Structure 1
Amino acid sequence: MIVKDEARSISNCLESVKGLVSEMIIIDTGSTDQTIDICKKHGAKVYPYMWKNDFADARNYGLSYATGDWILWLDADEELDATKKFLLQEILAHTNSYLLSLPILNYYGKTKPVNKDHVYLYYQLRVFRNYKDITFHNRIHETPLLPAELTDKEIENISIPIHHYGYLEDITETKQKGQRNLQLLQQEVADPSHSPWIEYHLASEYYRQGKYLQAFQYVNESILLFLHQNQLPPSLLYKLKYAMLIETNSLDGAWPSIEKAILLYPDYVDLHFYKGDILYKMKNYREALQAFEKCLELGDHHTEYLILKGTGSFKAGRYKGLCLEQLGRSEEAQEAFGFWDNTRLD
């Protein structure tokens, strides 16, 4: 872990892995609060590190101290799911995989306690064998970089969630994350060899700050850069692009171009949900109903996409009811509302 002034959340994070891990390695980049004392009380090893504006470098510094057979990497504003954490021990004892992907539950809203329905889910490589040639790359939004001999190894998806609270408004405002992230991303984008992912992350930061013009420019630039490299632009780019167009009520820009994105990712439930939302706002209730029924057919459970909870279940079900109401099918609408309300209670 990399930390700085995390006294507010670090105890919950370390408690979430207690009894599971054999060592806790903390790279402290200059804490002035009680973070270091709290870490040591939990039995963690704390190593000071001179901050270089490079999360990957700090993460790799931490890797150099790891002696276990497996690496689990976390952030201080995350917690491993308490109800399933010991299942991870059992999986590691029997798996032949080198790489494990876990679902990250990214909560949004103002503060804790969180609304469990206000969450984005995305699977990410978070556990890997302590293999000397696995290192992290990217100054910000660092990710494991796999050596050639591991690139063809299958990443095993396991359903042990990591709860991430770092996007809650009170945390981002207190830590001024947006300003810090933009500064690091601008350094990255100045490197001629940078990845098109950097433009995506810039778009995300501007989007979170409500600066939609800059965000839209960067998301389109990222798409073009991926295409110029003869790569299919990742699905995240289209999700962000159409989320922006819907929020700014730019329906003419969103329709019918979203159909092209769906052709690229026909099983991405969030894109079908956005399509239904666009059509509903355009008062095309019949086609919107078909889009939401497609969402319910696809469901919420996809390991390869960033999914907003409910787009394949209760959110789509509610819209289905609204469409049926507009089409004069009131009995079917009430049935849809009732079914999805009961599902959520279950």
Structure 2
Amino acid sequence: MKISACYITKNEERNIARSLQSLADAVDEIIVVDTGSTDRTREIAEALGARVLDFSWQDDFSAPRNFAVEAASGDWIVFLDADEWFVEPQGVRSMIEAEIGAAPDLEAMMLLRLNLDDQGKEFSRDRSLRIFRNAPWLRYHGKIHENVYSSKGRLRVSYPEGLVLNHDGYRGGMIEEKIERNLSLMLKDIRENGHAERFYPGLTDCFYHLRQYERCLEMAFSGLEFPTYPRDTRRGLYHVALEAMRSLSIPLDLMCDLMDCAQAEFPHLPEFYAEKGILLSCRGELEQAVCNLEKAAVLFEAVREDEVFPYFYKGGGIAYERLAQIYRVLGRYDLAALNFLKSSCFHGGMPPSAKELLEEMCRICGIQMKEFAGNGSTMMLPALLQRRLLQGRCSASPALTRICRCGLLLVAAARVPRAKAEMLAFLPKTLQEKWKGYEIVKKKKGDR
């Protein structure tokens, strides 16, 4: 099997080498179609073995992509943007071959893409069609937001988990330039050809980033009237519409109604339950807020490990933190501490409100925070275990003492991971079961 790599470029000297090097060992040829670079893009690409072809820019992204496809001789095509690169270059070819071997009639692959900020940290993730069969019925369509379509009908697509891309095309001020360009191309296409429904999702994103929230909301609602959009597209429309409503200070009741529609359409996704839970907590409806936030947690934690929830990965820390804050108000310190721990998996550390909870529980149990300061936080858990939370001197009721003990130990476990086994044995059975949810969140987030 022969694999071709394809690119379209313009002034990509900063990115092109990194991308080419991430797939060079996996492909048999590299085709770069350049649309007018004035920097060292061509020189760098040719030095890395690429065949560089020129193409005059025509305000149409599909045209140079299809030109590259026509020039490719491989059986399969890997078509990346210059600001994308494989996370694990050494396994790219073997994973492509394995995916094709498992499904001989496969036509395309949707790859997981991690979007990185200026510091190289992931801020969101999505899936993009980046690998497809080199067949005459598969070509790009659309002057902007172009994608591969089949003239034979619905594409047969797989979602390989091992093929993951990094993407840093939204760093710094680059996004503003791209948005202005994309908006101009879409509006021009609508003027010339009509059929604005093709661009409602793209226009929604552009107007949101340009802070034109009323236009954004108009485009989002127009897009949601078209059930034929792909599920991921409709999912995104709900999210951007909600953020636009927040920016416009739309009444909470209307935002909740929007989330009801999203939940009905996507009952298996955690994020819309999390969003409604946060909205309900702002209305003071804490019991209903807990129901929605716990539902979000169950959906996130109960599915297989490789399930991808891009929006929940972005906002999961906020959802768990809000759930923890509600449980604190309700006096459930054990569950508050547990959800603070879950939120720390997203935040990279315990939020300030978790420290406030710890201080409050220490006051209830008659323990002074300064007792843990002498030898640093590593002494916190051993000290708590040794003293059994001053059970003989604590004035609180036995039930409250038990709750505070569990909560304190959960918070301590975040600071002293090596004491986990000892801590778990000290918890009641109910919380030992709930601890599994924390372990799942921790494993899913990993080092991301």
TM-score (norm 2): 0.68
Mapping for residues 75-86 of structure 1, pairs under 5 Å: 75-82=81-88, 84-86=91-93
Amino acid at match of 2:245: L
Amino acid at match of 2:138: I
2:148 is the alignment partner of 1:144: yes
Q: Distance in 1 between matches of 2:159 and 2:230?
A: 24
Judging changes above 3 Å, is the alpha-carbon distance between structure 1 residues 230 and 134 closer, same or farther for their aligned structure 2 residues? closer
Shift of 1:135: 0.6
2:213 is the alignment partner of 1:212: yes
Instruction: State the match for 2:137 in structure 1.
Output: 133
Judging changes above 3 Å, is the alpha-carbon distance between structure 1 residues 333 and 211 closer, same or farther for their aligned structure 2 residues? same
- SS of 2:71's partner is coil
Shift of 1:87: 4.1
- SS of 1:43's partner is coil
2:54 is the alignment partner of 1:52: no
Amino acid at match of 2:325: L
Taking every aligned residue pair, what percent have the same amino acid on both sides? 25
- SS of 1:310's partner is helix
CA contact (8 A) 1:199 1:219 kept: yes
Give the stretch that moved more between structures: 86-95 or 181-190: 86-95
Mapping for residues 1-346 of structure 1, pairs under 5 Å: 1-82=7-88, 84-92=91-99, 94-95=101-102, 96=104, 97-107=106-116, 109=117, 111=118, 113-116=119-122, 118-119=123-124, 121-148=125-152, 151=154, 154-159=156-161, 160-173=163-176, 176-192=177-193, 194=195, 196-224=197-225, 226=226, 234-250=234-250, 251-299=252-300, 307-310=310-313, 314-341=317-344, 343=442
Q: Distance in 2 between matches of 1:231 and 1:332?
A: 38
CA contact (8 A) 1:267 1:298 kept: yes
CA contact (8 A) 2:32 2:51 kept: yes
CA contact (8 A) 2:271 2:312 kept: no
Q: CA RMSD in A?
A: 2.7
Q: Distance in 2 between matches of 1:280 and 1:115?
A: 30
Judging changes above 3 Å, is the alpha-carbon distance between structure 1 residues 15 and 188 closer, same or farther for their aligned structure 2 residues? same
CA contact (8 A) 1:28 1:46 kept: yes
Q: Distance in 1 between matches of 2:196 and 2:139?
A: 17
CA contact (8 A) 1:123 1:304 kept: no
Number of aligned pairs? 335
Q: Distance in 1 between matches of 2:261 and 2:278?
A: 16
Shift of 1:315: 4.1
Q: Distance in 1 between matches of 2:307 and 2:207?
A: 24
- SS of 1:122's partner is strand
Tell me: higher relative CO, structure 1 or 2? Use CA pairs within 8 A at least 6 residues apart. 1
CA contact (8 A) 1:13 1:76 kept: yes
CA contact (8 A) 1:269 1:312 kept: no
CA contact (8 A) 2:11 2:37 kept: yes
Q: Distance in 2 between matches of 1:215 and 1:305?
A: 26
- SS of 1:31's partner is coil
CA contact (8 A) 1:270 1:311 kept: no
Query: Deviation above 6 Å: which 4+ runs of structure 1?
Result: 229-233, 300-306
Show structure 1 runs of 5+ residues with no match.
none
Show structure 2 runs of 5+ residues with no match.
1-6, 345-413, 415-441
- SS of 1:141's partner is coil
Q: Distance in 2 between matches of 1:155 and 1:130?
A: 14
